[in-house]
A and B are shown apart, each in its own frame.
Chain A
Amino acid sequence: MNGELIFSGLFLRALLAGGGLALACGLLGVFLVLRRDAMISHGLSHVAFAGVALGLALNLMPLIFSIVVCLAGSLLILRLKEQARLPGDTAIALLSSGGLALAVFLMSIKKDFGAELMAYLFGDILAIAPSEVYLAVGLALVVTAGILLNLSRLVFMTFDREAALVSGFSLGRLDRLLVMMTAVTIVLGLRIVGLLLVTGLTVIPAASALQLARNFRQTLLLSSFFSLLSILGGIVLAYVFNLPASAAIIFLALLIFSLSHLLKRWR
């Protein structure tokens, strides 16, 4: 292995963006899994994909545009859940099929960006631009801070919503915060592992942590650690062995899950 290659800007940028994303995914994933909201990331990934397509079609920065569209989509899912009296997964299905339909439609009328859009189907972290790295790290830090600053209330309302409702803080505000942080994280994940794998990125490390943790602190720490290990490890593997990074990341995450599960059964 060539030392110069390891420290090339390309590789460092990938690690930096990946590390930020990993932290956000690891923390957020715990709440998504425990709130039974894992499929929200699935739905939002399709909305984010439509956002990228729109951005490309209008010649705007696809990542920024996608974040805006995805934020709007996330609030729409919440509203549908609350006001149209739809079960959460049905609200998500409405939005994800709508998002994908929009992306397909846009591709058919503007054929020239099809290839670029494909990069968002499978992600391509090793091609990430410097400006995208700043965006990814900045947003990942915002998400991490958002969770840590509201940690007690998030735990309380996820564990026992009815008791939390009688505690005099606004659960609606935290619901919105959580779904908006999910939207941001999903868009970043789209860039890195792509539409087809981003749900796994937000869910698998948390699922692995749940196999082993005995309290909430351990769950958050393990989930973040597993997330970092999968993403950074996946990037290294992809770089060294010339593999698709997204596949390497998800395989590593699944490997960690299997080992955690075995360890739990063996204990």
Chain B
Amino acid sequence: MTMENKTEEIIRVEGVSFSYDGVPALLDVNLSVHRGDFLAIIGPNGSGKTTLLKIMVGLLKPGQGRVWLFGQPLEAFKQWHKIGYIQQKATNFDPIFPISVAEVIAASLNSVSRPVKPGRGQVRNKIMEALQTVGLETEAGRPMNSLSGGQQQRVLIARALSTEPEILLLDEPTTGIDYPSQENFYDLLGKLNKQKQLTIVLVTHDYGIVNRHVNRVACLNQKLVYHGEHSEFCQSDRFRELLHGGHHLISHRH
């Protein structure tokens, strides 16, 4: 499905370069994400995918270039409740941390700056709603560290969804999750994207699994090698040149 008629621009990255102590990680990246997009960012290890995502959410300041969120310069942006972010290896939290599934979500819900603070009963409802979306409503009282890796990942998705964001940015969210669970997970993302118009930016190595949900692709290797419609991308094989040997990246429908 192509989206010719452009909707609101949610993220705009303009001429962004970034280096870690003088070692370049990103060079002159231009990219925009529109409302309703499901953008996959792909590229080999060390190609700057995580760096780009961190710049998009303000965790890193670009050396050059600028970022806009919802039409505002990032430095002036305040509506952080509109943004859900799940970092790479998000489930690498402290295994002794004593916290229940519901508390993980409540801590975020009560912290995020938003115009109107939700009341206590509302928080409870939002927690259960978010857990239902990921199919974990029966586990609200369990300690987080007693869940499996895949379940933990889903709790973190629920946490990101609980604040009702308008865009979700995920950095390799299914590392270490079995194949059927991965498919379920991406089906869920696809559903949220189509039914709730949730905009999604997904960094992934498993392009084969996600490609039926994705409508745009950005292929990164320090520079943006390709940025455009998913359908066109499938005809070209630029990313195969780029990711030589990455056979698992090729769509199972081709």
Q: Which residues of A are at the interface with B, using a C-beta cutoff of 8 A?
A: 34, 152-153, 155-156, 158-160, 162-169, 209-210, 213-219
Point out the residues of chain A lying under 8 angstroms from B113, CB to CB: 167-169
**Which A residues lie within 8 Å of B86 (CB)?**
163
Q: Does B149 touch A at the CB level, under 8 Å? A: no
Within 8 Å by CB of B103, from A162, A166, A169, A217, lies A217
Please name the 5 residue pairs, one residue from A and one from B, whose CB atoms are nearest each other, closest first.
Answer: A168-B80, A152-B110, A168-B113, A215-B100, A156-B107
Separation of A214 and B104 alpha carbons in the complex (Å): 13
Q: How far is the CB of A259 from chain B (nearest CB, A)?
A: 18
Q: Which of A209, A213, A215 has the most CB of B within 10 A?
A: A215
Query: What is the interface size of chain B, counting residues whose CB is below 8 A from a CB of the partner?
Result: 33
Give Cα A214 to B80, complex, Å. 30
Chain B stretch 50-80: residues in CB contact (< 8 A) with chain A: 57-59, 78-80
Main secondary structure on chain A at its contact with chain B? helix
B87 within 8 A of A: yes
A19 to chain B, nearest CB (A): 25
**Is the C-beta of B96 less than 8 angstroms from some C-beta in chain A?**
yes
Contact of B111 among A162, A169, A210, A216 (CB under 8 A): A169
Closest to B58 in A: A166
Whether B85 and A159, one on each chain, are in contact in the complex, defined by CB atoms closer than 8 angstroms, is no
> Which residues on B sit within 8 Å (CB–CB) of A160?
90, 93
- Tell me if A166 and B59 are in contact (CB < 8 A): yes
Are A152's CB and B106's CB within 8 A? yes
Determine the chain B residues whose CB is within 8 A of the CB of A164 once the complex forms: 108, 111
Chain B contacts with A in 142-189, Cβ cutoff 8 A: 143, 156, 159
- Residues of the A chain whose Cβ atoms lie less than 8 Å from the Cβ of B156: 163
Partner of A156, one of B80, B100, B111: B111
